[in-house]
Structure 1
């Protein structure tokens, strides 16, 4: 397998809660035209469906290999980078990227050997707050503000095109520069999405155990801490170290409670 294809294989397109099966087929067609073939469906409302097959128009292989899961967390558990495509929103504070910058970041991660997910929400309501919290950054397509409604498959096509352009450029650079180093010692690997979510869950519980919030709502603090740690791009070994510290803090909190 050549370098360009193997890099593309690390990038998955994730559709969450798709309502219209035709959009699934159209999205499959959109990604195949741009050299991508990994499609993950999170709780689609109607799938499998003959309308999806009809709209795929030759991308039947993408549909046949599509993976269906129940939650976004499951869809991105092994990912090092998760990009959520969404309209601008103040509900969840995320770094906001243009499609071109997002594609470059996604391909950089894939070139380094990390799994990447580009996530699209429901046709009418997009991604929910809890789903956006699972994303490292938001992607906003700068459509005409006077008519910004963009069909799901069209949005998938825009991002797939930008990914294609970066992948082609990376293939050219690869031919000139020789094979990029991948791997490294297992303990130096970047932490997966599931490992980071495990860290966040333990961190939230630890903050409760030590009464860090002191009656204040914990959501704001956790949002800030999530952004802090996600920006740090922790490795597996660093996550294990932090979880060990948290485990000790939880143990000391239990001992202190028992003495009271």
Structure 2
């Protein structure tokens, strides 16, 4: 199977119809066809509705009209990445802590080449003016930053899509990576982190003010383990049993302390 079919490009909060069209053209250049828009600006949707005539997005797509015809629109990022086994977030800004390692485009593509043969990979791009929020980038297991000159650190959205799609396309022509166990999907990981959030609050490990930072550190730690579906279920079972034990106390079958 051509694993490029498993690569999804996700544009969050798109503001300019022309960038959506140019991004679709970049995807078509490098064999990627799955495009999702998360909460785009109304003018983007209005422009797409003008097809077949008068749409700036379609005008910029050039031989990638089919990608625009089949794109998905959702209102929140978790919907767009729920079935992904790897979520790659893009950023140019420094943050206190990331939920995964920060790499350049080529190492990112190599990681995509390892995971995409198993299932979905989502590469997520933020708004043209402000990028991804901290909460949005927290959904990523891998962060990619494109090196640029200091005078102009940010790329145009479509340029960034083009560059990363090019690197992924190049990785697709490399020798296949060794088979690895399939990774857990984002929806399952999110359930684990929801359980963990409740657990660390209940045991007093942190408070409400520091909770986002604590969960971010746990995300980073557990992402390093590249958890499989079975491992996610194992950890969730451990957390559930720990909560039960804390609530109900020692069982009759427990040894005397």
| TM-score past 0.5 threshold | yes
| Cα pair 1:84 1:132 within 8 Å, conserved | yes
What secondary structure, in the 3-state scheme, does the structure 2 residue paired with 1:53 have? helix
1:12 aligned onto 2:17: no
- Preserved CA contact (<8 Å) 2:102 2:143: yes
CA distance in 1, matches of 2:244, 2:83: 29
Matched, 1:191 2:189: no
Matched, 1:255 2:248: yes
Structure 2 counterparts to residues 73-222 of structure 1, below 5 A: 73-93=78-98, 94-111=100-117, 113-169=118-174, 173=175, 189-213=182-206, 217-222=210-215
**Shift of residue 181, structure 1, vs aligned partner:** 5.9
Cα distance in 2 between the residues matched to 1:215 and 1:161: 42
Q: Structure 1 residues 189, 157: closer, same or farther in 2, change over 3 A? A: closer
Distance 2:207 2:37 in 1: 40
1:159 and 1:233 map into 2 onto residues whose CA distance is: 22
The CA deviation at 1:215 is: 7.4
Contact 2:92 2:154 (8 Å CA) reproduced: no
Cα distance in 2 for residues equivalent to 1:48 and 1:152:
20
Contact 2:97/2:217 (CA < 8 Å) preserved in 1?
no
Structure-2 separation of matches of 1:238 and 1:145? 42
Distance in 2 (alpha carbons) for counterparts of 1:58 and 1:206: 51
- Secondary structure (helix, strand or coil) at the match of 1:245 reads helix
Alpha-carbon offset, residue 103 of structure 1: 0.6
Structure 2 CA distance for partners of 1:231 and 1:23, relative to 1, 3 Å: same
How many residues are aligned here?
239
Contact kept in structure 2, 1:209 and 1:253, CA below 8 Å: no
TM-score, normalization by structure 1: 0.86
Distance apart, 1:224 and its partner CA: 1.3
Cα root mean square deviation, aligned = 1.9
Cα deviation per residue 1:186-245 (whole Å; 9 max; x = unaligned)?
xx6421111001000011101112222267722222111111111101111111111111
Residue in 2 aligned with 1:246? 239
Q: Residue 31 of structure 2 aligns with which residue? A: 35
Structure 2, unmatched stretches of 5+, are 48-54, 250-257
Structure 2 distance, partners of 1:22, 1:124, is 15
Q: Distance in 1 between matches of 2:150 and 2:85?
A: 32
Deviations 1:73-114 (A, max 9, x none): 110001111111110312442411100110111111112x12
Higher helix share: 1
Alignment partner of 1:223 is 2:210: no
**Cα contact 2:125–2:131 (8 A) shared by 1:** yes
